[in-house]
Structure 1
Amino acid sequence: MVTASTGFSADTAVYYEVDVLVIGGGPAGTWAAIAAAGRGAKVVLADKGFCGTSGATAPSGTGVWYVPPDPARRTKAMNSRWDLGGRLADPVWMRRVLDRTYQNVNHLAEWGYPFPTGVDGEEIRTSLDGPDYMRLMRKRVKSAGVRILDHSPALELLRDASGAVAGATGIRRQKGDTWSVRAGAVVIATGGCAFLSKALGCNVLTGDGHLMAAELGAELSGMEFSSAYAMAVDHGSVTKTRFYEWAEFTYADGSPIPGAASKGGRSSIAKVLGTGQAVYARLNADAQEQVAMRHAQPNFFLPLNRTGVDPFKDRFPITLRLEATVRGTGGLRLVDEGCATTVPGLYAAGDAATRELVCGAFTGGGSHNAAWAMSSGFWAGSSASDHARQVRGRSRVATRSGQTGLTEGRGSRIDASSLIQSVRQEVLPYNHTYHRHADRLNASLDRLDTLWSDLRSTDAADLSEAVRTREGVAMLATARWMYRSALARTESRGMHKREDYPGRDEAQRHHIIAGGLDEVWTSTANVGGPADEVLAA
């Protein structure tokens, strides 16, 4: 039995007491809810948007790291990421993800997902259409008996006297009131943080879960691997980048940009854009390829069609949109195979959790992140259910853990819009996050730390501004963890590029752990798996 103490949730309009609370309704959250309910748990899922339509997966297609259980194929798949990820991945976790993903994708087929059929008559199960996938997942969540709270962002976690998580409180946006859920275990599946960069589906991904977990003392790992920028049409939000492999890139006058079309050419593009110059692209593909491309990813072409641009004939301006920890690999640190965090009863899945275990230091893109979401979601939900069963029936008093933006201070309320703009000024520029140097990192951190210190004396936000305020606070906290971790890794590895340390240092083949709010700290942790041998099946 969990009872409430005084605090934000005292006047909640709706109250639930369950075994497991899942925060986030994307792939990781829905798999977690289904897995927990499948083990007999009573489950509530709270989504910031509408479960099944919000988040990065729902509006897009995504590849899946789906490899049949053939030893040679599995080994090849793992080795393809080993060096690319700076040898920071863990082969044990890679094998686990491949196994679990294979099983979960096959479950999707059993549930009726419309996989296309190849010329050999076999279903092609290496990609998923976001709308179809998430529509099916919402249906399965509901049929599992899970209660879904749509448009109900969480604001803070609750803790018991021992420091273990005890639930969460949040806002029902459409009703203009609040909710409270007391739970034996909580799964954070809130996604990563893209700093409101206008990347498709990322408007709800502001690092909320990282902040709430850190307020309970959770640690993070791999936050230096947060420099992921995705290419998009200048006036568009679609960040599906595969088709740019067919592109030529030019300056405004039509002259080619040296190195832009090569592997690693995004760095050249970022340097040009960073000077304020425009970059143009045009796709070179034959007629058959053009038809296939339009069929495979129609939303890529929508912003171009609306302006009358034929990307196979016309040059069009492009930009790079920051996807940070969404397409990066950093997130909440996991301490066991059940995706537990360093806080008792608190689990993490999907982009909210570190993906270093399977991707190392380089982006999981779509396929590896998609595999990780369904695998870690399954494990987190299952483990949360088991933990909740162990604490079921205990008498616990739940107290608030939310801090900045939710507690009374000695000053005025936070100006959420101004806060968000200030954080974005520090993380969006390419020479801050993409091309890194200690001088710029330290200068940004001085400003971010001062901003955090100033916020600590502010008053709690009004209910109408609470969500936006906490988003700004979460983005600020995430930026500070990112930059502290980036300073701690004095080398270039994977997507983390230091201009002042351009080489890779094998003495730094370790994870960077980060934590803290008022005082952000970093430490190191060993990496699992072999360092100098080829991965074995």
Structure 2
Amino acid sequence: MAAAQTTRPALYADVLVLGGGPAGTWAAVSAAEAGARVILADKGYCGTSGATAPSGTNVWAANRDVRIHEASIRDRHVLGGFLSERSWLDRMLERATLNRHKLEAWKYPFTFDQHGDVRYSLQGPEYMRLMRSRVKRAGVKILDHFPAVELLADEHGVGGAVLVSLESGESRTVHAGAVVIATGGCAFLSKALGCNVLTGDGYLLAAEAGAEMSGMEFSNTYGICAASASVTKNAFFQYGTYTYADGTVVEGTDTDEQQITPARIFKIQSAIAKKLNDHTIYCRFDHAGEALQPQLRKSQPNLFLAFDRLGINPFKDRFPVTLRLEGTVRGTGGIHIVDETCATTVPGLYAAGDAATREFIAGAFSGGGSHNAAWAMSSGSFAGEAAAAYSKRLSASVLGRSLKGLSTTPQTSAASSSPLVSAKTQEFVRAVQDEVMPYDRNFFRTEYKLCESLIRLNGVWANLREGASAAGVQTVRYREAAAMAATARWMYASALARPESRGMHQYEDYPELDPAQQRRLLSGGLDDVWVKPHQPAPAHSHSPF
């Protein structure tokens, strides 16, 4: 059913970018630099919303020692279940390097190491403040607090979107030659820092237009954090010792690995997840020496702010921990892109950042911070440039297209809100969370539990599709619930279609990696979810070279 019609005149652009995080802002700047008229619409306030804005992260860069660089790529290829592609890694690294140089030219305050080399570490607040400034300087029109509730399309493909103001509840139509979805991943409102706007909205929009998902089985990442906080910086928690209330070390957390690696933190997470339901687990960062402690505080002040407010010295005092679901924000699943332009299977529709699959660069394991940061800035640039070129190639003006809404959830033009709709929306959200948040259902997967959850999630989706019509801001919240339900269904259907353990997808029924399943899985569908193999494993795929 189409979204509410507005009496306000439509806006027109060559490129519409949905999302104002790193990928969205790079897409907007790149499209504008290519000569396109650009509108950027963000659910939050562009520059402050999303997972990057309140955090700090490194940006993946090649080690100057070629042997170390090649070894790191090989290690990541193995960790990712042999699904990453060297050509994508090289291309991403090349563009990320160019964009880092742009940040330097734009006067981002990078720091330097003891050798005088630039340390490519980004502080979210400064980074995103700068990116908002560059977006505005590029002539892009920014619509803050204006999430998209449906895409518009005609026989030529996607040609715009309907937005809803979170401040007034009014809807606004934008016609555009091409659309870039950079709305981030889905963390299922788990209260992880910066993830309150990351509810899989872009996935639902793309699927309604006919796009496919990829790698959705690799979407069950959790982050360790203090039980009373929301900052999930896994790298810092590798400095911790994990104990029960009586001081006994939690089994499996005292690993033999000395280096800070994704594999090590995954082992620690697994050990914690097995015990958290029945025990309170405590952490202390006692593996961080005194010389390192000031550096850790400086690199991630938000993490330590919560401790300081509670009077806790995490290097000396124990504090309880928990795991917060980060889903596809740190996972690798997302919208399937078909080529190096970050185009989807739908004409005029592009995907970038966490909204797109990251299997090309991370395989079946989380891209973490540095790889995901490099992917956001590079894929954003690729998508923005390609969207601008696509819009320019359109023979017909965007003013003359007869566009129709693609929404599959009930919406209305009624001005008033309904308490009943709000209550039902919250009920749907809780029902989805009940299936995806438990560790013994999503982290430790079994065929029986996945089937159970998928049946219930299908019921949630059916009820959402037949629910009462939402209006204004209620439409946004209702769409969030629908997006989370759709995302969870693609996740579990894909997991059931991969009877093996690969990367973060750990299947207790099938604990071994199966070489015959070294392929990507595409998924999609709304009322009827489907999963199919994308392609067989590429030749010589056990080596990234």
Work out whether the TM-score is over 0.5: yes
User: Residues 460, 500 of structure 1: CA spacing in aligned structure 2 closer, same or farther, 3 A cutoff?
Assistant: same
Aligned match for 2:433, one of 424, 448, 454:
424
Aligned match for 1:140, one of 91, 114, 134:
134
Distance 2:388 2:313 in 1: 52
290-299 or 343-352: bigger deviation: 290-299
Number of the residue aligned with 2:246: 253
User: Do the aligned partners of 1:34 and 1:140 also contact (CA within 8 Å) in 2?
Assistant: yes
| CA deviation string 1:316-373 (max 9, x = no partner) | 0000000010000000001111000011100000000000000000000000000100
Q: What residue identity is the alignment partner of 1:279?
A: I
240-249 or 321-330: bigger deviation: 240-249
Query: 1:29-40 counterparts in 2 under 5 A?
Result: 29-40=24-35
Distance 1:232 1:483 in 2: 25
Number of the residue aligned with 1:124: 119
| CA deviation string 1:183-219 (max 9, x = no partner) | 1100000000000000000000000000011001110
Distance 2:215 2:116 in 1: 42
| CA deviation string 1:64-99 (max 9, x = no partner) | 112268754543342231101000011111110111
Residue 390 of structure 1 and its aligned partner are, at CA, apart by: 1.1
User: Do the aligned partners of 2:2 and 2:406 also contact (CA within 8 Å) in 1?
Assistant: no
1:87 match: secondary structure? coil
User: Residues 521, 196 of structure 1: CA spacing in aligned structure 2 closer, same or farther, 3 A cutoff?
Assistant: same
1:10 match: secondary structure? coil
Number of the residue aligned with 2:90: 95
Task: Name stretches of at least 5 consecutive residues in structure 1 with no aligned partner.
Answer: 1-5
User: Do the aligned partners of 1:87 and 1:531 also contact (CA within 8 Å) in 2?
Assistant: no
Q: What residue identity is the alignment partner of 2:152?
A: L
Q: What residue identity is the alignment partner of 1:269?
A: I
2:342 match: secondary structure? coil
User: Residues 406, 392 of structure 1: CA spacing in aligned structure 2 closer, same or farther, 3 A cutoff?
Assistant: farther
Query: 1:257-276 counterparts in 2 under 5 A?
Result: 257-262=250-255, 263=264, 264-275=267-278
Residue 401 in structure 1 maps to residue 406 in structure 2: yes
| CA deviation string 1:152-197 (max 9, x = no partner) | 11111001135x1010011112233111100110000000000000
User: Do the aligned partners of 2:85 and 2:544 also contact (CA within 8 Å) in 1?
Assistant: no
Aligned match for 1:86, one of 66, 81, 85:
81
1:318 match: secondary structure? strand
Q: What residue identity is the alignment partner of 2:280?
A: A
Distance 1:298 1:288 in 2: 17
Aligned match for 2:61, one of 52, 60, 66:
66
User: Residues 228, 185 of structure 1: CA spacing in aligned structure 2 closer, same or farther, 3 A cutoff?
Assistant: same
User: Do the aligned partners of 2:57 and 2:122 also contact (CA within 8 Å) in 1?
Assistant: yes
Distance 1:68 1:108 in 2: 19
Residue 295 in structure 1 maps to residue 304 in structure 2: no
Query: 1:168-179 counterparts in 2 under 5 A?
Result: 168-179=161-172
1:406 match: secondary structure? coil
Q: What residue identity is the alignment partner of 1:45?
A: L
2:379 match: secondary structure? helix
Number of the residue aligned with 2:417: none
Number of the residue aligned with 2:388: 385
Distance 2:468 2:239 in 1: 52
Number of the residue aligned with 2:416: none
Number of the residue aligned with 1:283: 285
2:282 match: secondary structure? strand
User: Do the aligned partners of 2:421 and 2:474 also contact (CA within 8 Å) in 1?
Assistant: no
254-263 or 437-446: bigger deviation: 254-263
Aligned match for 1:374, one of 373, 377, 382:
377
Number of the residue aligned with 2:351: 348
1:8 match: secondary structure? coil
Distance 1:298 1:45 in 2: 29
Number of the residue aligned with 1:3: none
73-82 or 397-406: bigger deviation: 73-82
2:220 match: secondary structure? coil
Q: What residue identity is the alignment partner of 1:360?
A: G
Distance 2:440 2:42 in 1: 34
Percent identity (aligned):
52
Task: Name stretches of at least 5 consecutive residues in structure 2 with no aligned partner.
Answer: 256-263, 414-419
Query: 1:183-262 counterparts in 2 under 5 A?
Result: 183-262=176-255
Residue 407 of structure 1 and its aligned partner are, at CA, apart by: 6.8
Q: What residue identity is the alignment partner of 2:70?
A: T
Distance 1:7 1:428 in 2: 32
Residue 7 of structure 1 and its aligned partner are, at CA, apart by: 4.5
Number of the residue aligned with 2:479: 470
Distance 1:110 1:392 in 2: 37
TM-score normalised by the chain length of structure 1 = 0.95
Q: What residue identity is the alignment partner of 1:456?
A: R
Residue 312 in structure 1 maps to residue 315 in structure 2: yes
Q: How big is the alpha-carbon RMSD for the aligned residues of Structure 1 and Structure 2?
A: 1.7
Distance 1:194 1:319 in 2: 15
Distance 1:21 1:68 in 2: 36
User: Residues 90, 20 of structure 1: CA spacing in aligned structure 2 closer, same or farther, 3 A cutoff?
Assistant: same
User: Residues 528, 18 of structure 1: CA spacing in aligned structure 2 closer, same or farther, 3 A cutoff?
Assistant: farther
Q: What residue identity is the alignment partner of 1:282?
A: R
Aligned match for 1:461, one of 443, 458, 470:
470
Distance 2:174 2:352 in 1: 19
User: Do the aligned partners of 2:410 and 2:466 also contact (CA within 8 Å) in 1?
Assistant: no
Residue 47 in structure 1 maps to residue 42 in structure 2: yes
